[in-house]
Chains A and B, each alone.
Chain A
């Protein structure tokens, strides 16, 4: 079996080399334009892997736009190197996402991979990235295991861990005197389980009581009424949930339609109310929902004001957290490329370890802790402002290390 793999890899390597030969003249011309030295010097090729179709296509687009906006505002250069970005479609599952990463590494010969929305794809690509000895910066996927104890030295993350976002809400709610038993609800897949575990651990450690727990089937549940009845029947005084995208829209609307919003306050992981399209679709049903996240477009700092203004000028709506994660992926890679001249994964990973605190991020200062951000978390509440809905900052919940 290993023999067959080596043969296939060699074959692909040969094909990749042939491909590289074909584009070599173009490379030369480009590096000549940039005033660089020999072929390749002064240039860096990045593979951007985001879903361009499927349920998370909008999330992928935000990451991509965040990445592009950073480059556009910094002369198209990372660490003084001219950047070429090759985009590949991550799709919806490892079956499509892992081959996309493989293609970028082997036939496009990229120097680093950026993007990855889906945790299963980040985990699935771990071995091929390690084999190719290339740097990978995860700009969204939140599974704890990506940068947990068994992490690869080549994989870094500019986003969050699922449990990190949920645990701060657990800690916050446990500290509230008037919060009664809380009902937990999250879709029945890996991220949902990590969110529930993160919340529960912190909430119970703080003396909070759980009223009950349910796991609607992921991607198959449209009618949440039975779960809403379950929340009421359990005698819960509050609900904590994790939903994103279309499921977040349906759940928040039905939570209001069935009259729970007025009697049982809804709390969630920030993705529940993140993104202007999600908020617009939820409409008035979203008002008053409190969530925790490491960003909101409402953050009051100079870097964020500049970022939001630039984003609005280009895309005509407010940026979501995903855009900041793409922006910061470019920002940290820029710092790493400023301290190293080599583009191999070992040098780049070492350089990533020395970037220190990222002071000028729209989310506020953050730093790597075990290759994933140690960052401030915010308690946010949805309010209506004019015709728009925004997540205003209710409280700063302090700097939080990644929770696996």
Chain B
């Protein structure tokens, strides 16, 4: 066992880092889908836009001010884009998931092409901000500091989101909307405002995840698709509409992508979707779904 742990310790650690990044990306998708019942296929392109924001502001080797500015710009632009998406899909509220998927997918395709025109089709490798580019020894094995920072950031954000959702009255409202939207409206709360807020916050997080992920996932064409698929898998595995589900789903996927590829290297291409299929068979609603009403 120690020998096995010794061989795969870095895989495990890297799974945590990937999981932290995936959590920041996917928690918004989970809440938007769980709460508003909107399948937002434009979520991946927000991630890509965030990654390009870092390239645009900071170039290949961003300074700290540029990195922080990119986080701010991505957060603000992501929130604005999320509000726009919320208004756009509001008109389709009474229609099927397919209509929403078509609308958001169309927006995503147009946005991805616009990004390609603006930033070229080259893949841009970006350095972490100064001081985080180096590696430190973790139990005697070198590991990039930036990825350790991602683990810390993901943990902090998960804790903060958990407190907001579980301990505040705003969180109670969010949970109530996830669980029964009509009832929330019936007791006199304008659920459209709650939805708009969650859509804006979730989209802002996706764009921020893009900035944070840019030094690991070099931005380029088709990264939006990769991000969207990973986020969807996290949501399906973790279950809809809960912070805890998104966190655990993201950690599971992070470990599968990292440790799974390390241990079962011959089956690397199959482990991710194999795990997805297994979860769908055993727990079709996801491993950690939030309780929902009769709506679904």
B49-79 at interface with A (beta carbon < 8 Å): 60
Pairwise interchain contact A250-B120, C-beta atoms closer than 8 A: no
CB contact under 8 A between A225 and B122, given known A230-B262, A246-B218, A259-B141: no
Set of chain A residues within 8 Å of B161, measured between Cβ atoms: none
Chain A facing B: main interface SS: helix
Set of chain B residues within 8 Å of A259, measured between Cβ atoms: 135, 141-143
Q: Roughly how many angstroms separate A55 CA and B123 CA in the complex, as a whole number?
A: 7
Q: Could you mark each residue 215-251 of chain A with 1 if its beta carbon is under 8 Å from any beta carbon of chain B, else 0? A: 0010110110110011001000000000001110110
> What is the interface size of chain B, counting residues whose CB is below 8 A from a CB of the partner?
35
Indicate which residue in A58, A229, A249 contacts B125 across the interface (CB closer than 8 Å): A249
Pairwise interchain contact B217-A222, C-beta atoms closer than 8 A: yes
A277-313 at interface with B (beta carbon < 8 Å): 281, 283
Indicate which residue in B133, B134, B216, B269 contacts A223 across the interface (CB closer than 8 Å): B216
Set of chain B residues within 8 Å of A230, measured between Cβ atoms: 262, 265
Pairwise interchain contact A226-B261, C-beta atoms closer than 8 A: yes
Pairwise interchain contact B144-A258, C-beta atoms closer than 8 A: yes
Q: Roughly how many angstroms separate A39 CA and B197 CA in the complex, as a whole number?
A: 71
Say whether A335 faces chain B, with CB atoms less than 8 Å apart. Answer: no
* Residue of A53, A226, A253, A258 with highest tally of chain B CB at under 10 A: A226
Q: Roughly how many angstroms separate A30 CA and B2 CA in the complex, as a whole number?
A: 79
Pairwise interchain contact A258-B135, C-beta atoms closer than 8 A: yes
Set of chain A residues within 8 Å of B218, measured between Cβ atoms: 222, 246, 249-250
User: In the complex, what's the smallest C-beta–C-beta distance from A339 to chain B, in angstroms?
Assistant: 41
Nearest-neighbor residue (CB-CB) of A53 within chain B: B121
Nearest-neighbor residue (CB-CB) of B220 within chain A: A246
Nearest-neighbor residue (CB-CB) of A217 within chain B: B269
CB contact under 8 A between A220 and B226, given known A226-B262, A257-B135: yes
Q: Could you mark each residue 167-191 of chain A with 1 if its beta carbon is under 8 Å from any beta carbon of chain B, else 0? A: 0000000000000000000000000
Say whether B102 faces chain A, with CB atoms less than 8 Å apart. Answer: no
Say whether B175 faces chain A, with CB atoms less than 8 Å apart. Answer: no
Pairwise interchain contact B124-A246, C-beta atoms closer than 8 A: yes
Q: Roughly how many angstroms separate A229 CA and B142 CA in the complex, as a whole number?
A: 12
Set of chain A residues within 8 Å of B222, measured between Cβ atoms: 219-220
Say whether B258 faces chain A, with CB atoms less than 8 Å apart. Answer: yes
B141-184 at interface with A (beta carbon < 8 Å): 141-144
Say whether A54 faces chain B, with CB atoms less than 8 Å apart. Answer: yes
Pairwise interchain contact A57-B217, C-beta atoms closer than 8 A: no
Indicate which residue in A214, A226, A250 contacts B258 across the interface (CB closer than 8 Å): A226
User: In the complex, what's the smallest C-beta–C-beta distance from B60 to chain A, in angstroms?
Assistant: 6
Set of chain B residues within 8 Å of A283, measured between Cβ atoms: 127
Nearest-neighbor residue (CB-CB) of B213 within chain A: A222
Pairwise interchain contact A54-B121, C-beta atoms closer than 8 A: yes
Nearest-neighbor residue (CB-CB) of A245 within chain B: B123
User: In the complex, what's the smallest C-beta–C-beta distance from B4 to chain A, in angstroms?
Assistant: 11
Pairwise interchain contact A246-B123, C-beta atoms closer than 8 A: yes
Set of chain B residues within 8 Å of A225, measured between Cβ atoms: 10-11, 14, 258
User: In the complex, what's the smallest C-beta–C-beta distance from A99 to chain B, in angstroms?
Assistant: 19
Set of chain A residues within 8 Å of B18, measured between Cβ atoms: 223
Pairwise interchain contact A226-B11, C-beta atoms closer than 8 A: yes
User: In the complex, what's the smallest C-beta–C-beta distance from A162 to chain B, in angstroms?
Assistant: 21
Q: Roughly how many angstroms separate A230 CA and B266 CA in the complex, as a whole number?
A: 11
CB contact under 8 A between A57 and B144, given known A220-B226, A229-B262, A250-B218: no
Q: Could you mark each residue 255-284 of chain B with 1 if its beta carbon is under 8 Å from any beta carbon of chain A, else 0? A: 001100110010011000000000000000
Q: Roughly how many angstroms separate A233 CA and B262 CA in the complex, as a whole number?
A: 9
CB contact under 8 A between A258 and B142, given known A220-B226, A226-B262, A230-B265: yes
Set of chain B residues within 8 Å of A220, measured between Cβ atoms: 222, 226
Pairwise interchain contact B122-A226, C-beta atoms closer than 8 A: no
Nearest-neighbor residue (CB-CB) of A228 within chain B: B10
Pairwise interchain contact B122-A57, C-beta atoms closer than 8 A: yes
Q: Roughly how many angstroms separate A254 CA and B258 CA in the complex, as a whole number?
A: 15
Q: Roughly how many angstroms separate A283 CA and B125 CA in the complex, as a whole number?
A: 12
- What are 5 contact pairs spanning A and B, CB under 8 A? A220-B226, A229-B7, A229-B262, A257-B133, A258-B10
Give chain A's interface residues, CB within 8 Å of chain B. Answer: 53-55, 57-58, 92, 214, 217, 219-220, 222-223, 225-226, 229-230, 233, 245-247, 249-250, 253-254, 257-259, 281, 283
Instruction: List 10 additional contacts besides A57-B121, A225-B10, A229-B7; criterion CB under 8 Å.
Output: A53-B121, A222-B216, A223-B216, A229-B10, A245-B123, A246-B123, A246-B125, A247-B123, A257-B144, A281-B60
